[in-house]
Amino acid sequence: MTLVHGLEGDLVEPTWDPLRLDEADAVLRGFPEAGGARRVIWHSPRPYSSAALVLPVRGRRCLLVKRHDGRVRSPESLAEEHRFAEHLRRLAVPVPRVLADADGATALRRDGWTYEVHERSAGVDLYREAPSWQPPTTAGHAREAGGALARLHLSAAGYGAPPRRRAPLQPLAQVLDDGDLLGAIDREVAARPALEAALEGPEVSPHWREEVAEALQGHRERLGGLPGELPRSWAHNDWHVSNLFWSSAGARASVVGVIDFGLADRTSATFDLATAIERNAVAWLALRERPAEIARPGLATSLVRGYLAERPLEPVEAEALAALLPLVHVGFALSELEYFGGILRSRQAVRTTYETFLLGHARWFSTSAGQLLLDAVAKAAGSPSPTRGATARRTACH
């Protein structure tokens, strides 16, 4: 049986059945470049969809076929991220091409599922077995990841599409725009019945509003009015080394491929960079056992320095970066609650997401280890540390 990554970093039985050869063949027959499927080579361990490398009837290069539950991704939703990816590809960002079917569509609906087909990226899928919360193995990889993200942001700056339409498993970055974070979360809850059901269910404390305020509001106050000053642009929003392909397995490898635009949306370059730091510079899978040891300030510094070598930050971006870091996960945690509660109906996943992800990550940034990481990020960005109250002083003068 193909196992997938679980929320605790373990391997678990998949929610979504692995792609079968006859299924892949039926899909690829609609793509003239493929003509059908000869063999399934590999199944992805990523949990939110079913994906497989498939050898097509035509050609010798494997294709990546992905199947999504239609409630999670529609063809229209996938087309939004495909258009962004194609914009980047035309500007020499190394994004694999998305194939179009005989009707010119890059995503299709079939039997309640939504499918997409990509060329396999060039390079080495060095971290393909690594969960999203596993840090890179070397500082060189972190620096290169930062540089590649900056290059993507430079190419994304001219992309003017509006934000994506509401769908599960989106970053919901807009909840950070309002200084009243709890009020912003309440508005999302009112607009999303599945999110409301998850938060009001037995897996979550009946006092969740008080718990959320305790864990998040201090960080939000330090962030002040900075979110409203950040330039908005489309971004990747899931920048982890496992979403990158590499020129080799060596410590000095360069990024030669960028994949997985499932969380791409109109946010900001700073939000995306903060997300990259949170995903790559904290060993979150050890949060419960060794909370004082999970920070990787050296990796965070390397990632930021790599970024700055390609794209210097504006002063407001430099000031916001570390202040965003304790909160950058909040929108996606809410979207995961909606997904686990409304689509998967998994009580355990709802409990873990609420306690460990939504609250646990924010609370960790209030510990001495978390504060030291924020200091390191602020120093690398060339800004006063938010742990010293610099952001609060700045916004008070406006």
pLDDT in tens, the chain (398 residues): 566 666 666 667 778 999 999 999 999 999 999 999 999 999 999 999 999 999 999 988 999 999 999 999 999 999 999 999 999 999 999 999 999 999 999 999 999 999 999 999 999 999 998 887 899 999 999 999 999 999 999 999 999 999 999 899 999 999 999 999 999 999 999 999 999 999 999 999 999 999 999 999 999 999 999 999 999 999 999 999 999 999 999 999 999 999 999 999 999 999 999 999 999 999 999 999 999 999 999 999 999 999 999 999 999 999 999 999 999 999 999 999 999 999 999 999 999 999 999 999 999 999 999 999 999 999 999 988 786 554 443 433 33
Q: What is the pTM of this model?
A: 0.94
pLDDT digits (tens, 9 = 90+) for 289-324: 999 999 999 999 999 999 999 999 999 999 999 999
Determine the Cα–Cα distance for residues 148 and 135; give it in Å rounded to an integer. Answer: 17
Domains defined for the chain, CATH in brackets: 4-119 (3.30.200.20), 139-396 (3.90.1200.10)
Determine the Cα–Cα distance for residues 153 and 235; give it in Å rounded to an integer. Answer: 7
Cβ(261)–Cβ(236) below 8 Å: yes
Determine the Cα–Cα distance for residues 245 and 258; give it in Å rounded to an integer. Answer: 6
Determine the Cα–Cα distance for residues 305 and 312; give it in Å rounded to an integer. Answer: 10
pLDDT digits (tens, 9 = 90+) for 187-240: 999 999 999 999 999 999 999 999 999 999 999 999 999 999 999 999 999 999
Determine the Cα–Cα distance for residues 232 and 84; give it in Å rounded to an integer. Answer: 15
